[in-house]
Structure 1
Amino acid sequence: MLSDKWQEKSKLPFTFISFGYIEGKLYRIEDNYIALDEFTSKKHKWSDDRIYGAFFLLDEAQFYMRTLDGIMGCSLTSLRKNHTMDYMHRQKVEVTPIHFDTIIDFAQLKYIEKEPVTCYTYVANMDNKFINKKVNNTYRNRIRCGYDEKCFINLLLKYKKIT
């Protein structure tokens, strides 16, 4: 989930598609939220291993991908591979779109799941020593609810009529 701050700074032509989730864990490192996908985060399996957010269509993605990779700290477009010192890695993952009418339906997990689709997402690079240290040495950085509250509420207000 790319926060509004980064969407506005990047000036990339994002088009909102849907809310959804991926399997993984969410961590907060300083002011940034990072995701660990389900394969990287196999260390501890909990029942709350979903990361909620929104997914977007990036018009002319091949043209703008280098800019997006630069924002996210990924060198895939320039090196044609994910480097071990990258902050994030861009990967294809299964995203499950969800539909809900009210915020209470979402809070009670009464959303309707649609057919999963494959999308690009940015997940934390566990080979990066800084990220590895922050994730593995403390549990207080783990976000249990699976989403960044401020960013998610801003997305709800912007793209969905909530009641």
Structure 2
Amino acid sequence: MRSLLSFGMTAINRRRALAGSAAVAVGVPLLAACGDDADTSAADPATSSGSDPSSPSEDGAAAGGVVLASAGDVPVGGGTIVDAEKVVVTQPTEGDFKAFSSICTHQGCPVTAISDGAINCTCHGSRFSIEDGSPLAGPATAALAAVEITVDGDSITRA
């Protein structure tokens, strides 16, 4: 009788352990799928900030003083992607220049094209406004981070 009782307790403990393991196996992937759209840190390990002004900033672009483009290279109603600096420079209306991070806020893919008044990320189809970086079509729900620029004559420089 004693051996049956011991066996019964062991079987119950094994069932509890297996049930708990199954709950963890199902729960962890579900929690991982509920991530924040704005978290791009895992997508590009080279985006850590440093004290050196030429080191990449949080959005991955180099800090102030870097020439991004010439005004003539940025079409009115469109823009240009400066891959090396991870910045998109746009010109929504003549003489009005804007700049944004070129890293999509959905899952950290770089944006790849500008057309029809939108900055496009072809990884998952997100589209952003060339005027303010706000999302025009998802899955991204957060705007592209604004980048401060200065325009001096024909030169567009990171501020």
Fold match, TM over 0.5?
no
Q: TM-score, normalised by structure 1?
A: 0.24
Higher normalized strand content (fraction of residues): 1
Structure number with greater Rg is: 2
Determine which structure has greater relative contact order: mean sequence separation of CA pairs < 8 Å that are 6+ residues apart, divided by chain length. 1
Give the TM-score taking structure 2 as reference length.
Answer: 0.25
